[in-house]
Amino acid sequence: MAALQRRIGPARFAWVFLVPNLVIFGAFTYLPIALNLVYATTGGLAVLPGERSFVGLENFASLLDCKNYLDPSSCSKDLFWRALFNTARFVALQVGFMILFALITALVLDRKIRGRGFFRGVFFYPVLLSPVVVALVWRWILQREGVLNAWLVAMGGEPVLWLMDAGWSFFWVVFVSIWAHMGFYTLILLAGLQAIPKDVYEAAEMDAASPWRVLTRITLPLLMPTMLVVIVLALIKGVQTFDEIYVLTGGGPGSATMLIVQYIYETGFAAQPRLYGLAAAASLLLAGLLMILTLLQLRLNRKSYRG
Amino acid sequence: MATLELDRVVKRYGSLEVIHGVDLEVPSGAFCVFVGPSGCGKSTLLRMIAGLETVSEGEIRIDGVRVNEVPAARRGLAMVFQSYALYPHMTVRQNLAFGLENLRTPKAEIARRVAEAARMLRIEELLERKPRQLSGGQRQRVAIGRAVVREPEIFLFDEPLSNLDAELRVQMRIELKALHGRLGNTMIYVTHDQVEAMTMADLIVVLSKGRIEQAGPPLELYHRPANLFVAGFLGSPKMNFLPVRPAEGGVRLEDGTLLPLPGTALGFAPLTLGIRPERLLLEGAGPGSIEGTVRLAERLGAETYLHLDTGAGALTVRTGGEAAARPGERVPVRLPGEACHLFGPDGRVIRCAPRG
């Protein structure tokens, strides 16, 4: 090695270490990105890029072709818009409630309660599970012959088709997703809470602040930088949701719980004919959305460090 | 203004007792300083008075009323924290007003008190700034302002100057003392700095290992320390301590010199002689004269501290700024009998030097 370094010089020697990583990163990240651009601007059903005809922005135009953007059925690719609307609704509900519950949980676990370590473990545990395992466990609970219905019948009630009803299945999709990810955000918020100096609370105690005033005027404002990071992280992860829901409901009933990633997957790989161009265009639109959210997170992060 | 009484106050954490039955009476309007090395329990005691720590045993009374169970905010106290503990997301004005808003004080009254405190502490032009935009001294003023607006009966200060640089510390010391003169409130002040204690206190309480070693006016403690700990803790440079044995008509130093101390019955046990650096004389004639070698001369301009090695032990002498002695030189030093304290084997004082 030393001999090689002497022969080719330290600057070139650096490449010896960088090349393996560059090759792997190039093959599995940059090349697919480039290919995705190629597919997004070509049409036809051929798999090999060389056999596909250039169509410019036709795939994007077709995805964005709507008479009324608020009504998916007026769009030529109505499923794309339904998936988009589902994603928006899912993300709004999932992120909103998850952060609310995570905050409440973190506030409770921040106190000196009995068995605090145990409860912290309990709330974090689902984060360690594979998303497919999470979905399978809950499908087992929610299916027609599942645990929940068995319990309902035992209590003298009627079984409910939890995953066959559009409203219920959307509820459960949000619920399961919150259950699976809440622990992670609870942990971050807990760290944020514990970073608030104890003497500020003592000063508030001397200042006769009621518990409610302490929460709203001291704790929450001081937690805000952490909160913003958590919100953006959860938004990004929420938009990317796929595996849990795909295994739990398969996007059904109908397209009631189909989110944007699942639409891309099905359009490109599962449905016949395989519309690679359309899927690639949709994934680029999604990438644009995620990019905006990531930039937002970076900015907030920098701001909170400065603060 | 209010009196403060501690009656056999004990603090335990589980089975560990850190305050062992403290008795103290602070008269109304006094500036009382708790001083002691770190870990002596002075901050714990202050936090118990504040209501931030529970009292394990005994009673704390403010104006004669037991307050053990009274929540911190209702004891009529205000506290200035060592770290200032300002609310970082609020402006200075909001920091000052927060406590009054919690008490539902009328808006006009809040505005009046904030303006008055800001004027008194000269932070008027800082009112719209956030704490992170302030210097250490300005933050300190805001922290004091937050206590002042509450118009408390008793002010509590927990090492408020320890985060400031030396120059600012001297300045704030003077301002705090002036504030006490103007408001006239009872103030309890915790510090580990004996200079702060000596310069600011009406009443010094020296604490060690969870017990009061001695309480009294600064000069009383300086001149009549009750034990070795207080004698060694107050004063800079420290009091000199030499091991001595009782002898006929006085005590014998380790080098054999007889130091006459008339009229003292001393028994037989080994004793400790204490003498302050400013009471030692650099002269050879007279009783109690010995010789020493200068190990180090610390020249401060107005005065010089000579560190001597003698046959009786190490001595520090405070002398004039132009002292000629150089390291390695032999110099005579005399211990005047009337300047000597004597402490028994248990550390308690047997004989105090008369003032002079």
Distance from the A56 Cα atom to the nearest Cα atom in chain B, whole angstroms: 52
Q: Are A102 and A230 in contact (CB under 8 A)?
A: yes
For B112-123, what is the mean pLDDT?
89
Residue of B nearest to A214 (CA): B102
Residue with tokens 């949701």, as numbered in its chain:
A241
Closest CA to B308 of B323, B296, B321: B296
For B193-211, what is the mean pLDDT?
92
In a domain, A66, yes or no: no
Select the residue of A202, A209, A222 nearest B85 (Cβ to Cβ).
Answer: A202
For A14-23, what is the mean pLDDT?
90
Amino acid identity, position A210: S
Distance from the A203 Cα atom to the nearest Cα atom in chain B, whole angstroms: 6
Contacts of B86 in chain A (CB under 8 A): 200, 203
Select the residue of A199, A213, A221 nearest B102 (Cβ to Cβ).
Answer: A213
What tokens were used for B311? 């046959």
Residue A127 — left, alpha, or beta (φ > 0 → left; ψ -120 to 50 → alpha)? alpha
User: How many domains is chain A partitioned into structurally?
Assistant: 1
pLDDT of residue A228: 86
- pLDDT more than 70, % of chain A: 98
Amino acid identity, position B63: D
> What are the pLDDT digits (tens) for B315-338?
999 998 888 888 999 999 999 888
Q: Can you tell me the distance from the alpha carbon of A244 to that of A138, in angstroms, rounded to the nearest whole number?
A: 10
Contacts of B88 in chain A (CB under 8 A): 200, 222
Domain encompassing residue A108: 72-306
In a domain, A173, yes or no: yes
Contacts of B67 in chain A (CB under 8 A): none
What tokens were used for B212? 């009061």
Question: Does residue B218 have a cis bond before it (omega within 30 degrees)?
Answer: no
CA distances for B250 relative to A21, B227, B263, B280, B288, angstroms: 87, 20, 8, 18, 10
Residue with tokens 């922005």, as numbered in its chain:
A57
Q: Give the three-class secondary structure for B251.
A: strand
Does B74 reach chain A within 8 Å, measured CB to CB?
A: yes
Which one has a higher pLDDT value, B307 or A166?
A: B307
Distance from the A221 Cα atom to the nearest Cα atom in chain B, whole angstroms: 7
In a domain, A110, yes or no: yes
- The DSSP bridge partners found for residue B308 are B294, B315
Taking any CB pair shorter than 8 Å as contact, residues of chain A touching chain B are 197, 199-200, 202-210, 213, 217-218, 221-222, 224
pLDDT of residue A305: 54
In a domain, A51, yes or no: no
Q: Can you tell me the distance from the alpha carbon of A121 to that of A117, in angstroms, rounded to the nearest whole number?
A: 6
Select the residue of B52, B83, B98 nearest A207 (Cβ to Cβ).
Answer: B98
Give the mutation candidate from B79, B95, B105, B150 for the A interface (greatest A CB count, under 10 A). Answer: B79
In a domain, A251, yes or no: yes
Residues within 8 A of A (CB atoms), B 100-119 only? 102-103
CB A207 to CB B99 under 8 A? yes
pLDDT band at B264 (very low <50, low <70, confident <90, very high): low
CA distances for B327 relative to B271, B300, B307, B330, angstroms: 30, 16, 9, 9
Q: How many CB atoms lie within 10 A of CB A247?
A: 16
Q: Are B208 and B194 in contact (CB under 8 A)?
A: no
Does B98 reach chain A within 8 Å, measured CB to CB?
A: yes
Select the residue of B72, B82, B88 nearest A222 (Cβ to Cβ).
Answer: B88
CB B50 to CB A218 under 8 A? no
Residue of A nearest to B88 (CA): A222
pLDDT band at A240 (very low <50, low <70, confident <90, very high): confident
Q: Are B335 and B280 in contact (CB under 8 A)?
A: yes
Contacts of A203 in chain B (CB under 8 A): 79, 81, 85-87, 146
Q: How many residues does chain B have?
A: 356
Residue with tokens 């006239």, as numbered in its chain:
B184
Q: Can you tell me the distance from the alpha carbon of B210 to that of B36, in angstroms, rounded to the nearest whole number?
A: 10
pLDDT band at A267 (very low <50, low <70, confident <90, very high): confident
Distance from the B103 Cα atom to the nearest Cα atom in chain A, whole angstroms: 7
Residue with tokens 């005033």, as numbered in its chain:
A213
CB A221 to CB B78 under 8 A? no
> What are the pLDDT digits (tens) for B57-91?
999 999 999 999 998 888 989 999 988 899 999 99
The secondary structure element, H or E, covering residue B95 is helix B92-102
Distance from the A205 Cα atom to the nearest Cα atom in chain B, whole angstroms: 6
pLDDT of residue B263: 64
CB A206 to CB B52 under 8 A? yes
CB A208 to CB B86 under 8 A? no
Q: Are B331 and B276 in contact (CB under 8 A)?
A: no
CB B72 to CB A205 under 8 A? yes
Q: Can you tell me the distance from the alpha carbon of B51 to that of A119, in angstroms, rounded to the nearest whole number?
A: 30
Residue of A nearest to B102 (CA): A209
What tokens were used for A281? 């265009």
Closest CA to A79 of A280, A302, A255, A305: A255
> What are the pLDDT digits (tens) for A192-231?
999 999 999 999 998 888 899 999 999 999 998 888 889 8
Least trusted range by pLDDT, from A60-64, B48-52, B257-261, B289-293 = A60-64
pTM for this structure?
A: 0.79
Does B305 reach chain A within 8 Å, measured CB to CB?
A: no
CB neighbours of B230 closer than 8 A, spacing ≥ 6?
B206, B213, B214, B221
> What are the pLDDT digits (tens) for A84-119?
888 989 999 999 999 999 999 999 888 877 888 888
What tokens were used for B30? 């006094």
If you average pLDDT over every residue of chain A, what do you get? Answer: 85
**Domains, in order of start, for chain B:** 4-226 (3.40.50.300), 237-351 (2.40.50.140)
Closest CA to B315 of B251, B245, B269, B254: B254
pLDDT of residue A307: 46
Least trusted range by pLDDT, from A79-83, A183-187, A296-300 = A296-300
Contacts of A199 in chain B (CB under 8 A): 81-83, 85
CB A206 to CB B103 under 8 A? no
Q: How many CB atoms lie within 10 A of CB B321?
A: 10
Does B72 reach chain A within 8 Å, measured CB to CB?
A: yes
For the residues of chain A, what is the DSSP string, one character each?
A: -HHHHHHH-HHHHHHHHHHHHHHHHIIIIIHHHHHHHHHHTEESS-SSGGGSEE-TTHHHHHHT-BS-TT-GGGBTTHHHHHHHHHHHHHHHHHHHHHHHHHHHHHHHHHS--TTHHHHHHHHHHHHHS-HHHHHHHHHHHHSTTSHHHHHHHHTT-----TTTSHHHHHHHHHHHHHHHHHHHHHHHHHHHHHTS-HHHHHHHHHTT--HHHIIIIIIHHHHHHHHHHHHHHHHHHHHT--HHHHHHTTT-STTTT--HHHHHHIIIIISSS--HHHHHHHHHHHHHHHHHHHHHHHHHHHHHHH-
In a domain, A30, yes or no: no
pLDDT of residue A304: 60
H helix intervals, B103-243 = 107-120, 136-148, 166-183, 194-200, 218-223, 228-233
In a domain, A56, yes or no: no
Q: Are A178 and A101 in contact (CB under 8 A)?
A: yes
pLDDT band at A64 (very low <50, low <70, confident <90, very high): confident
What tokens were used for B166? 């030396």
Residue B86 — left, alpha, or beta (φ > 0 → left; ψ -120 to 50 → alpha)? beta
For the residues of B43-54, what is the DSSP string, one character each?
A: HHHHHHHHTSS-
Q: Are B172 and B17 in contact (CB under 8 A)?
A: no
Least trusted range by pLDDT, from A204-213, A237-246, A250-259 = A250-259
For B108-135, what is the mean pLDDT?
90
Q: Can you tell me the distance from the alpha carbon of A123 to that of A96, in angstroms, rounded to the nearest whole number?
A: 18
- Strand residues in chain B grouped as ranges (E): 4-13, 16-26, 31-35, 57-62, 65-66, 77-80, 154-158, 186-191, 203-208, 211-216, 240-247, 250-252, 258-260, 271-275, 289-299, 303-310, 313-320, 330-334, 341-343, 349-351
Residue of B nearest to A222 (CA): B89
For A142-146, what is the mean pLDDT?
81
CB B85 to CB A218 under 8 A? no
In a domain, A1, yes or no: no
What tokens were used for B67? 């307050």
Select the residue of B89, B102, B146 nearest A208 (Cβ to Cβ).
Answer: B102
Q: Give the three-class secondary structure for B93.
A: helix
- Could you tell me the CATH number of the domain that includes residue A258? 1.10.3720.10
pLDDT of residue B307: 94
CB A202 to CB B146 under 8 A? no
